[in-house]
Amino acid sequence: MTERIHPINEQVEKRPESGKGKLLWKVAKRFPFYAPFLFVAATVASNAQSVEQDPTPSPTTITTAEGPITDQDGDGFITLVDARILTPPQTTNCPVCVDVNGNKVVDQTDIDLVNYQLEKNSVEDLNGNSYNASFDVNNDGANSETDVDIIKSYLGQEVTAPSFGVDDPSEITFGYDANTLLVKYKTGVNLDSKQALLAKYDLSYKSSLDNIDELEIKDGAIDTLKQQIEAEPEVDKVFKNFVAKPQTNDPGWINQWGAKKIRIEEAWFTETRGNWDNPVKVAVIDVGFDVDHNDLQLNLSNLRRNAEVTDEDDPDYENVSGNDENHGTATAGIIGATVDNFIGIAGLNHRVELIPIRVAGELGVRRALEWAMEQDVRVINISLCFGYSDPSEHLSNDTFTEARNEHGIVIVGIAGNDGRNDSCYPGNHPAVVSVGATKEDDSLWESSSGREDADIFAPGDCIEVLRAGGFSSACHSGTSFAAPHVSAVVALCETIAPISPDRRNDLRCDKFLARDTNGFGRIDAWSYLWYRNCSRFDNSDSGQVDVLDLQILAFRTYLPPIFYDRRYDVFPVGGDGKIDISDYYVEASRNDIRCQ
C-alpha cells in the first residue's frame, strides 16, 4: 500500500455536513484544546448519521469463495486483486475484498483511506502515476467513488478466518509471493531428505540461507501447499515470502518543518552534529537507492549490498538501484543529506555513514540483517511494511531479535499507513522501534497506524525529501518518512550516550520516555539528546560522572546569581537561568556512568 499525498492548502478531514457532528466540529474549532476529543465525537456522530441517511444496498449475496486463492492476474503475487477476481465484492459477499487496511473489519477508516486517494488524484499537477490497486475495489482500473460506495455497503462486517484458505486474511491485503515458499528445516536434515521433499511436492530449489531454502512452486495453491509441507517431519516451519511495500507518495511543496519541529537545530547547537572522526554506521534497508545523488555523497558509505543476490562475484551484489530508487533515496536523505552545501535538503546528521541495503522480500530482509550485523552498524532504518501478522509468522523474526539483543543495534521501523491501532511488521516486533506519523500541528497524520502501540511518533506529513536523479521535492507523507527522523536522532545519540547504557535504561538510545517527547508522543530531539549527553554531566572532564562532579554542582547551588554558569544548569532542557536542587537531582541520577 502506498501513502497518499496531502495536497497543500487542502483539508483532508471529513467535516460533517449537518446534525450533531457539525455542532461538535464547530465547538472543536472554537476551543482548540478540546479539539482532539470533540473531533472524534464529531466523526462518530457523522458516521452514524451517514449510515442512517445513506443506506446503500448490500451486495447480492451468492457464495463467498472458500477455496484456496491463486494468482489470478499472473503478476506473481497473491493480493486483493486476485481475491476480487475470484469473488467480485460488488456482486458476491467478500468482506476481505473491501477491507483495504487489513484490520479484519470494514469500517470508516477503509472509506477514509480511499477518499484520501481520491483527493490525491484530484490535484491536477500531481495526477500522474497515482493509481492504487489496493483501493480499486471493483477492479476496473481506476480509483473512484464507486469503490467508496461498495465499501459503504459492507460497513460493520467483519472479516472471518480463514478466508480463501488463508488463516490471517490480512496477508492477502498486503500481499505475498505466489510462487515461492521459505522452508526452514529441522537441525540435522540431510540433502537426500530435502531432495525427496522437493520431488514429493514438485518444487524447485532457488537459494539457501543457513538451514532455510527458498523453493519455487510449479503448480498449486501456495497456502494449501504451505500447510502440507509444514506437516512434514523434516520441516521446522514454512514461511511465505511477504511483499516489501515502500510507504511513500508523490511530492508537493513544503519546507523542512519536521526537522524544526523536533528542535534539531537546538540539538546541533548544544549537543552534537555527528562524529566526524568516527561516524555512526546507519544501515538503510529499502527497495532501491540513487547512489549517485549529489546530496548524499558526503555521508554515503562505500559499503552497500543487494540482499537479493548471494554470489559476491555477481556484478549486482553491490547494485542497490532497484526498480524504485526514490523511496530509499528519500529515507536516506532525511538521515544524512549533506548540510550547508546549497543543494537539496539538510539531513538531520551533519556526519554519519549511510549504508544502503536493497531488498525485495522477506528473504532479502533476513540476509540484509545478517550482513548489517557483520558490518558493525549501530542503527538500522527499515521504512517497509510486510503486513500486520504476528512477528512469529515472519522469516526474519529471530534475526531482528539477534540484531537487537546480541549486537545492540537500534532498529527503527514504521507503524504503517493504514489508519490502524496496531503497527505493521517489522514495526510490531519487540526488538524494533515502531514510529507513527504526525502533522505540522502535532496532530496524528490521518493514515498513520500504530495509534495504540507505536513506540514514538515523528513528523510524517508533507515532508521534503530527496528524489532519484539528483532532485529534491516535497510533500511526501507517511510513516516511511517519520521513521528516518527517529533513526537520525538515534544516530546522534550513539555519538554522545554513555558507554555503559545497559546499566541505565533511561539513557539507552532505543528507549523513549515522556521527557523525550513534546508531551504526547512526538519525539523532541533536543530533550532526547540533552539528557543522554554524558559529557554534559562530566563537570570534571574525567570521562565519567562521579562524586567530584556532584560536589562541584552542589557547591554551585549555594553561590549567588552573579556567579551563574550555564554549564551547570542541566535542568530543564536549555536551562532555566538558575542552579538549584533540581539540577543536583538530575546530576546525581547520572552518578557513575562512563562517557565515550
Q: Name the residue among 465, 529, 454 with its Cα closest to residue 491.
A: 529
Q: Quote the pLDDT of residue 275.
A: 87
Within its chain, how far is the Cα of 162 from the centroid? 27
Model pLDDT for residues 470-506, shown as the tens digit of each residue: 887 777 899 999 999 999 999 999 999 988 755 566 7
pLDDT band at 533 (very low <50, low <70, confident <90, very high): very high
Q: Which of 243-252, 386-395, 517-526 has the highest mean pLDDT?
A: 386-395
Q: Name the residue among 175, 186, 183 with its Cα closest to residue 201.
A: 183
Locate 103 and state its grid cell.
Answer: 484490520
| Rg for the chain, CA atoms, rounded | 26
- Position 542, amino acid: S
Indicate left, alpha or beta for 10 from its phi (over 0: left) and psi (-120 to 50: alpha): beta
Tell me the mean pLDDT in the region 174-184.
93
Indicate left, alpha or beta for 429 from its phi (over 0: left) and psi (-120 to 50: alpha): beta
Tell me the mean pLDDT in the region 341-354.
89
Q: Name the residue among 152, 344, 273, 236 with its Cα closest to residue 533.
A: 273
The Cβ of residue 407 has, within 10 Å, a number of other Cβ atoms equal to 16
Percentage of the residues of the chain whose pLDDT score is greater than 90: 62
Q: Quote the pLDDT of residue 122.
A: 62
What would the DSSP string read from start to end of 49-92? HHHHH--PPPPPP-----SPP--SSSSSEE-HHHHHHHS-TTTS
Distance (Å) of CA 169 to CA 147, 173, 268, 406: 20, 7, 46, 34
Q: Quote the pLDDT of residue 405.
A: 94
Q: Quote the pLDDT of residue 520.
A: 64
The model carries a pTM of 0.76
Model pLDDT for residues 122-138, shown as the tens digit of each residue: 643 333 446 888 999 99
What residues contact residue 135 under an 8 Å CB cut-off, 6+ apart?
Answer: 100, 113, 114, 117, 143, 147
- 99 vs 26, higher pLDDT: 99
Residue 418 has pLDDT above 60, yes or no: yes
Largest Cα separation within the chain, whole Å, is 86
- What SS3 string covers 145-177? HHHHHHHHCCCCCECCCCECCECCCHHHHHCEE
State the chain's mean pLDDT as an integer: 84
Tell me the mean pLDDT in the region 561-571.
88
Residue 45 has pLDDT above 80, yes or no: no
Judge contact between 404 and 425, C-beta under 8 A. no
Model pLDDT for residues 390-402, shown as the tens digit of each residue: 999 999 999 999 9
Q: Quote the pLDDT of residue 130.
A: 65
Model pLDDT for residues 312-345, shown as the tens digit of each residue: 999 999 999 987 899 999 999 999 998 877 788 8
pLDDT band at 288 (very low <50, low <70, confident <90, very high): very high
Q: Name the residue among 79, 93, 98 with its Cα closest to residue 138.
A: 98
Residue 195 has pLDDT above 50, yes or no: yes
By mean pLDDT, which of 49-58, 301-310, 402-411, 577-586 is the weakest?
Answer: 49-58
- What SS3 string covers 98-124? HCCCCCCECCHHHHHHHHHHHHHHHCH
Tell me the mean pLDDT in the region 290-296.
93
Tell me the mean pLDDT in the region 379-396.
95
- 48 vs 412, higher pLDDT: 412
pLDDT band at 464 (very low <50, low <70, confident <90, very high): very high
Tell me the mean pLDDT in the region 377-387.
96
Q: Quote the pLDDT of residue 43.
A: 41
Residue 96 has pLDDT above 70, yes or no: yes
Residue 41 has pLDDT above 60, yes or no: no
